[in-house]
A and B are shown apart, each in its own frame.
Chain A
Amino acid sequence: MAPILVVVEHADGVVKKVTLELLTLARSLGEPAAVWLGPGYGDTGASQLAEYGVATAYVVDNSDMVDFVVAPKTEALAAVVKQASPAAILIASSAEGKEIAGRLAIKIESGVITDAVAIAPDLTATQSVFGGSTIVHSTVTHGIPIITVRPNSTAPQAAATALSRVDVEVPVSEGARGAKVTGRTAATKASRPELSEAAIVVSGGRGVGGPEGFGVIESLADSLGAAVGASRAATDAGWYPHQYQVGQTGKTVSPQLYVANGISGAIQHRAGMQTSKMIVAVNKDSEAPIFELADFGVVGDLFAVVPQLTDEVQKRKG
């Protein structure tokens, strides 16, 4: 049977949660196979993939994958697709994942669907568009369906199997080595879950008032085991690093719970959080549009409400 090929997102040899979700989804569609692009494949990654039902891991252990922007990964992936003849290709809906999907679509002459939140056994993808107001079912009508899937669309479930590694040698073309990565700059790496993958996100906006204000946001996040997010007003003001921005031009998140504090709910912010399963808002202004989205809202000062909530969460955890 033709496999469902899943492109692995990994960091420091560890498979990211979104990939475990994609593998779980892939098992509902067929037999998952994995593609590991770049260095880092080792015991840790292999055992994670085996645990989530991968029988075959195609490994392209070539540093060009990470030394040049996107194009080498696409070439390698196209080579694996040729070898594996999959029924579909699933890629995480990250910025880079979508770029890989787009380039691959041209290379293998296949249709591409981005930002799916579910995929049916007949490979019909469900998308949530226009800020979540419309649900669309789409299908790829030409070639091998390439579908990028949003993080948090499926709960990861293990189903262990025996895994074999297949090494794929891909000579990367000169043309694909045009955009060279000359340095990597990491913003302060927090010990919190990654924003786009977190089950709970606690965000702060202009209402937080300054960088110190994020202290109460972080405390609440830590009590809930959550990631911290921010509105553009907060990142632009330099109160919180830019990569934590949620919204149209920041991250798209779809957690179990999103807590918006001192955020008005501008359309560009909503675009990144509207599909959250549950939304809680704290805002001084009862007219703030964020309350239209909220499952539960408190009209009040976040500096009173948020610390009280943090205490209460801690109390209940015991």
Chain B
Amino acid sequence: MGKRMKIAVCVKQVPDTWAEKRLRPADSLLDRESAEGVLNELDEYAVEEALKIQEAHGGEVTIVSMGPERAVETIRKALSMGADAGIHIVDDALSGSDALATSAVLAGVLKDRGFDLIIFGSESTDARMSVVPAMVSERLGLPQLTFAQKVDVNGGTITIERQTDYGFDSVEASSPVVVSVVEKINEPRYPSFKGIMAAKKKPLETLSIVDVGVAAGSVGTSAAWSVVADFAARPPKAAGTIVSDEGTGGVKIAEFLATNKII
């Protein structure tokens, strides 16, 4: 056995899945105050996978999140699931950052800390870009083991099943690596009462962008390389026709499809 494995999990606080999401008219940014913030669902799977690997191989799990003050709740949630320590990057300059800036900040935090595994969710439910893990891999020059439906750790060799259109690819790399997981991989645990109490005492580092070596001018709204020009609510859809099946439901659908020239 070599040194203890160091695992980082990047998690994002997102508006509650069920909340109606809105852009703020003033700056076209996601209105994060109007809805309760939760740990991005896919990131729960990332935390779970890290904890499972830790249970099997030992080591330490660090939660990393970039976000406003209250994103600390999300880090605590991950700590209450069982992770060991948290790093929170919070800075007013970060508001309005695009994926490029987010990946630069995360790469800045992750780079010199000797992590063997850096685990992400495969998508955030608000941005839905699925690009941050690949971007961090690009910035750190580390192998990209993304869209994993299975992760195996064998010493320094990491093998995953990468979900594809046709099934999956088996992919292998030597650590350190960047991993992202899909929801099929495991069943996230619920924090126990003991876990919730313990989380309050776990170490939490709070960093500004200066601490992670990112220039203020390179993040936030003014530095974003893509901007929202305008937005509008989709014109409400005309209510559909709903009928009860009285023995001819199938025929009625066929008539509807014929009227609309689908068949």
Residues on A facing B (Cβ under 8 Å): 69-71, 74, 94-96, 98-103, 105-107, 110-115, 124, 128-130, 132-143, 175, 178-187, 189, 194, 196, 200, 224, 232, 236, 242-243, 248-249, 256-257, 267-268, 271, 278-280, 282, 286, 291, 293-301, 304-313, 316-317
Contacts and interface: CB of A to CB of B under 8 A. Distances in A.
A178 B167 contact: no
Contacts of A257: 257, 262
A143 B99 CA distance: 15
B18 A128 contact: no
Contact of B103 (A70, A106, A133): A106
23 contacts: A69-B171, A98-B131, A103-B135, A103-B138, A105-B225, A106-B100, A110-B225, A111-B98, A115-B128, A124-B229, A128-B234, A133-B234, A134-B232, A179-B171, A200-B262, A224-B263, A232-B183, A286-B242, A296-B241, A297-B240, A298-B242, A298-B244, A300-B244
Nearest to A251: B165
Nearest to B233: A134
A69 B253 CA distance: 44
Given A98-B130, A111-B224, A112-B131, A138 B229 contact: yes
Chain A facing B: main interface SS: mixed
Contacts of B141: 175
Contacts of B54: none
B18 A139 contact: no
B209 interface: no
Interface string B205-246: 000000000000000000011111111111001001111110
A309 B169 CA distance: 38
Contacts of B204: none
Chain B facing A: main interface SS: mixed
Interface in B84-112: 98-100, 103
A298 B146 contact: no
B95 to A, nearest CB: 17
Nearest to A296: B256
Nearest to B243: A298
A279 B164 CA distance: 26
Contacts of A312: 250-251, 253-254
Contact of B170 (A71, A99, A185, A224): A185
B165 A111 contact: no
A207 B171 CA distance: 36
B123 A249 contact: yes
Contact of B139 (A106, A184, A278): A106
A115 B138 CA distance: 21
A178 B163 contact: no
B172 interface: yes
Please name the 10 residue pairs, one residue from A and one from B, whose CB atoms are nearest each other, closest first.
A300-B245, A308-B250, A111-B225, A178-B143, A102-B131, A309-B250, A312-B254, A142-B225, A111-B226, A99-B134
A262 to B, nearest CB: 13
B229 A311 contact: no
Given A95-B163, A105-B225, A298-B249, 11 more contacts: A99-B133, A106-B135, A106-B139, A111-B100, A111-B224, A112-B131, A128-B234, A129-B128, A134-B231, A184-B170, A296-B256
Interface of B: 17-18, 20-23, 28, 42, 98-100, 103, 122-123, 125, 128-135, 137-139, 141-147, 149, 159, 161-174, 177, 182-184, 224-234, 237, 240-245, 247-254, 256-258, 260, 262-263
B227 A308 contact: no
Contacts of A297: 240-243
B231 A304 contact: no
A123 B202 CA distance: 48
A267 B263 CA distance: 29
Contact of A112 (B99, B146, B167, B257): B99
Nearest to B126: A130
Contacts of A291: 240, 242
B144 A141 contact: no
A113 B256 contact: no
A69 B146 contact: yes
Contacts of B241: 295-297
A308 B237 CA distance: 28
Nearest to B178: A179
A313 B254 contact: yes
B258 to A, nearest CB: 7
A69 B138 contact: no
Contacts of B228: 136-138
